[in-house]
Amino acid sequence: MDIRNIAIIAHVDHGKTTLVDRILHSTNVFRDNQETGELIMDSNPLERERGITIFSKNAAVTYKGIKINVIDTPGHSDFGGEVERVLKMADGVILLVDAFEGPMPQTRFVLQKALQLNLKPIVVINKVDKDNCRPDEVHDQVFELFFNLDATEEQLDFPTFYGSGKNGWFNDSLTPSEDITPLMDGILKYVPEPKVSEGPLQMQITSLDYSSFLGRIAVGKVTRGSIKEGQNIALMQTDGVVKRNKVKELYVFEGMGKRKVDEVVAGDICAVVGLEGFNIGDTISDFEVQEALPAIKVDEPTMSMMFGINTSPFFGRDGKFVTSRHLRDRLLAETEKNLALRIQDTDSADKFLVFGRGILHLGVLIESMRREGYELTVGQPQVLTKTIDGKKHEPFETLVVDVPADFSGKVIDLVTQRKGEMNVMESKGDMQHLEFEIPSRGLIGLRSNMLTATAGEAIMAHTFIDYKPWKGPIPSRNNGVLISKNQGTTTAYSIDKLQDRGTFFIDPGDEVYIGQIIAEHIKPGDLNVNATEGKKLTNMRASGSDGTVRITPKKEMTLEECMEYIQEDECIEVTPKVIRLRKVYLDENDRKRFSKGAKMEA
C-alpha cells in the first residue's frame, strides 16, 4: 500500500510543530506565494498564545508518490490523553529529542505508550545547532531509555537522524544536508505499511472534528475492509449498545485540509460525516458482521476542581452563559472529546466536580469556556487519593529541573520542603540537572516560587509516575490576604495608604465587592480593609502641599497562577472579561462561623 501513518511525539518545546512545518513546506503543500507563517498546525488561538500544542491534529502529504499521514501531538504531560488515543492511528513514530536537554519526563511517557502499541520508532535529535548541544551523549541516553522501557531487539535497533528544524535540515549524520529529504526517505524506508486484516469493515473513532456545516465528524483509521459513501454501518459503542447508522460523506486528509472521496480502504485515515450519537473509542463495523475493536484505555485523572455558577455580586455582567444548565451541558460536551476528563454531580445542582490530569489541563478548559462567554466560579485544585491495602495513597510525579548551578541549592530546598526527594543531580553543560520524586500536591504553587527564587532561570517539567503512600501535610501559602469590606470603586488615596500592608491585585478605579481578595498580606492571617475610601475635601488648604500619590502597579496573575495561589476557603470568579480572587463566603461573619465549625470538626 502506498500509505504511511506516522505520529510525531516529544517532550514540550523540543520542536514537533516546527518539524511538521518543514514536512509541509518540503512536500509543496502550499503555493509559492502563499503566506503561511510558522507553527502552521497550532491553529487554535490558545495554542498560539501559549506557544504549546494542546490538540492533536492530522495533515497529509505526498512524497515520491506515497501518501504520508502526519499526526502532530501535544508535548505537555497534562494532555497525555490526546497522545494516547491518536497513537492508535499510527504505524510508526518520530521521537524528537532536544540535542541539549536529552530525554525528558514526557519523552519517557509517550515513548512507553508507543512501544506498548508496537509502533516502529525513528529517533530525531533536533536543535544540533544550539550552543552546548551534546548529540552523541543524548543518543546514548535515548538508547538507555529504550532499554529501560523493555523495548524489543527490533525496537532497540532504531534509526537516528540529526538536524535543526529551525534551519530546515535533517540528515542521518551530523553533517548538515540541504533540506529534510534524508528524513523523508527514512520515513518511507523505516515506517511499515499499515497492517491490514482480511475481513469486513472495522474502524475505531480516535478523534472528533466539528464543522458548522456538517456537524460532528468522526476521525479514525480504517483497520479492516473498506468504508463507502452511503453505506449502512453498525456503530458499536463502548457500553455495548449497537446503533444503526449511515455514512453520508467521506473525506481523506490532504495537505492541511480534507478531500471528499467515495471509498476509503483499510490502512488510511479518514473523516466520516453523518453519524449520530458517537463517541471516541466507538467502532464503526460492518452492518452484518458486527465486531467491536478493544476500547481505548486512557490513564486516570489525578486532580479535581469544583466548578460552579458565578455567585458574586457582579454575576451576569460579562457572560452570555451563566446558568447551571449551561455549565453542565458545556462540561458534558467537553468529556466527549477530552478523554482524560471526568465530570461528577454533587449535592448542589449548581456545582460539579471536574477531574483532570493537572492544573494546565483544567486551566485550558476554563480559559476556553471563558472565551466562549461562560461565567463560572472554580475552587482550589485537589489531588485524588486512593486507599490501597487499607492505607491512603496519593499521586506522585517525576519533577525535572534544569537550573544554573548557583541556584541549585535554592531549588533543592524548595522541593524538599514540599516532601520531594532528589534522585539525580548532574551537570549538563553550564546547567545543573536535578530530578526529584514529589507528591502532586507539592507541585501546586511551586512554579511561581521557583521562578522567583531562581530569577526566572529554572526550566521545570513533570509527569505522573504512580500512586504512593500519603506523605503527610505539605506547607502551603504562608501569607494571608487583604479582603475588601466594601463594595464600590477603589481609589488611589486608599490604596496608597494600604500599600505597606501587601501586594495589590487591583488598580485604582477597579470595581470591587465585599469578600473579594484585593491583595496579598505581608504577614500570615487575613485582613479586612477599605480600598474605596475617597479623600475628604474641605475648603481649608493643608499647610504643606499634598505628596504625589505613587501607586505600585498591580501584580498580574494568569489563570493557572490564580489556581495555584488560592487556599481551601478561597475561589476564582472567571468571566469573559475578568478573573477575580474571592473568599468562598463573602460575608465576614459567615467566614468566622465556617472556620469555627471546621476547627470543632478537627
377-411 pLDDT, tens digit each? 999 999 999 998 889 999 998 898 989 988 999 99
**557-to-21, 274, 382, 455, 586 alpha-carbon distances in Å:** 33, 44, 20, 17, 21
- pLDDT attached to residue 43: 55
The yes-or-no verdict on residue 298 having pLDDT over 80 is: no
304 conformational bin, left if phi > 0, alpha if psi -120 to 50, beta if neither: beta
**88-to-187, 207, 293, 492 alpha-carbon distances in Å:** 18, 10, 11, 58
Q: Name the pLDDT band for 238 (thresholds 50, 70, 90).
A: confident
Contacts of 49 (CB under 8 A, 6+ apart): none
- The residue extents of the domains of the chain are 3-190, 202-286, 386-469, 481-601
Burial (CB < 10 A; 0-12, 13-18, 19+), residue 585, is middle
- pLDDT attached to residue 29: 59
- pLDDT attached to residue 327: 94
Higher per-residue confidence, 34 vs 586:
586
189 is in an annotated binding site: no
Q: Name the pLDDT band for 544 (thresholds 50, 70, 90).
A: very low
* E strand intervals along 385-477: 386-388, 391-404, 421-428, 431-439, 459-469
C-alpha cell belonging to residue 440: 502532586
- pLDDT attached to residue 258: 84
126 is in an annotated binding site: yes
Contacts of 17 (CB under 8 A, 6+ apart): 39, 40, 41, 42, 53, 72
- pLDDT attached to residue 47: 60
The yes-or-no verdict on residue 83 having pLDDT over 90 is: no
The yes-or-no verdict on residue 496 having pLDDT over 60 is: yes
Average pLDDT estimate for 332-342: 83
- pLDDT attached to residue 545: 45
How many whole angstroms separate alpha carbon 254 and alpha carbon 331?
Answer: 32
How many whole angstroms separate alpha carbon 481 and alpha carbon 331?
Answer: 31
3-state secondary structure of 250: strand
Burial (CB < 10 A; 0-12, 13-18, 19+), residue 244, is exposed
135-172 pLDDT, tens digit each? 899 999 999 999 988 888 888 999 999 988 888 888 88
18 is in an annotated binding site: yes
DSSP summary character for residue 297: P
15 is in an annotated binding site: yes
The CATH fold assigned to 386-469 is Alpha-Beta Plaits (3.30.70)
Q: Name the pLDDT band for 360 (thresholds 50, 70, 90).
A: confident
- pLDDT attached to residue 542: 52
Of all residues in the chain, the percent with pLDDT exceeding 70 is 92
3-state secondary structure of 262: coil
458-467 pLDDT, tens digit each? 888 888 888 9
3-state secondary structure of 519: strand
The CATH number corresponding to 481-601 among 3.40.640.10, 2.40.50.250, 3.40.1800.10, 2.60.40.10 equals 2.40.50.250
Q: Do domains 3-190 and 202-286 have the same CATH topology?
A: no
CB 106 within 8 Å of CB 463: yes
- pLDDT attached to residue 412: 93
**173-to-128, 162, 182, 219 alpha-carbon distances in Å:** 11, 6, 10, 37
> Alpha carbon 255 to chain centroid distance?
26
Main-chain dihedrals φ then ψ at residue 51, nearest 5 degrees:
70, 25
- pLDDT attached to residue 512: 94
How many whole angstroms separate alpha carbon 441 and alpha carbon 464?
Answer: 12
Higher per-residue confidence, 535 vs 30:
535
Residue 223 CB coordination number (10 Å): 20
The CATH number corresponding to 3-190 among 3.40.50.720, 3.30.9.30, 3.40.50.300, 3.90.600.10 equals 3.40.50.300
- pLDDT attached to residue 464: 84
7-26 pLDDT, tens digit each? 988 887 778 788 888 888 77
The yes-or-no verdict on residue 241 having pLDDT over 80 is: yes
Average pLDDT estimate for 77-104: 83
Q: Name the pLDDT band for 211 (thresholds 50, 70, 90).
A: confident
The yes-or-no verdict on residue 60 having pLDDT over 80 is: yes
129 is in an annotated binding site: yes
471-486 pLDDT, tens digit each? 988 887 888 999 999 9
The yes-or-no verdict on residue 38 having pLDDT over 60 is: no
Main-chain dihedrals φ then ψ at residue 338, nearest 5 degrees:
-105, 90
246 is in an annotated binding site: no
How many whole angstroms separate alpha carbon 13 and alpha carbon 166?
Answer: 12
Average pLDDT, the chain: 85
Q: Name the pLDDT band for 33 (thresholds 50, 70, 90).
A: very low
232 is in an annotated binding site: no
Task: Domain 202-286: state its class.
Answer: mainly beta
How many whole angstroms separate alpha carbon 116 and alpha carbon 519?
Answer: 49
- pLDDT attached to residue 50: 61
Of all residues in the chain, the percent with pLDDT exceeding 90 is 31
62 is in an annotated binding site: no
Higher per-residue confidence, 209 vs 569:
569
CB 370 within 8 Å of CB 574: yes
Residue 288 CB coordination number (10 Å): 9
513-535 pLDDT, tens digit each? 999 999 999 999 999 999 998 87
Whole-structure pTM value: 0.81
**Planar angle of CA 408, 458, 56, nearest 5 degrees:** 140
Q: What does 135-176 look like in DSSP terms, one character per residue?
A: HHHHHHHHHHHHHHTT--HHHHS--EEEEETTTTEEESSSS-
13 is in an annotated binding site: yes
Sheet with 92-98, edge to edge strand ranges: 57-63, 66-72, 3-10, 92-98, 120-126, 160-164, 169-171
14 is in an annotated binding site: yes
Most distant pair of Cα atoms in the chain: their distance: 97
CB 490 within 8 Å of CB 510: yes
Q: What does 461-503 look like in DSSP terms, one character per residue?
A: EEEEEEEEE-----------EEEE-S-EE--HHHHHHHGGGEE
Average pLDDT estimate for 421-425: 91
How many whole angstroms separate alpha carbon 233 and alpha carbon 241?
Answer: 14
End-to-end CA distance of the chain: 67
DSSP summary character for residue 380: -
How do 459-469 and 391-404 pair as beta strands?
antiparallel
What angle, 0 to 180 degrees and rounded to 10, lies between the N-to-C axes of helices 105-116 and 135-148? Answer: 50
- pLDDT attached to residue 459: 84
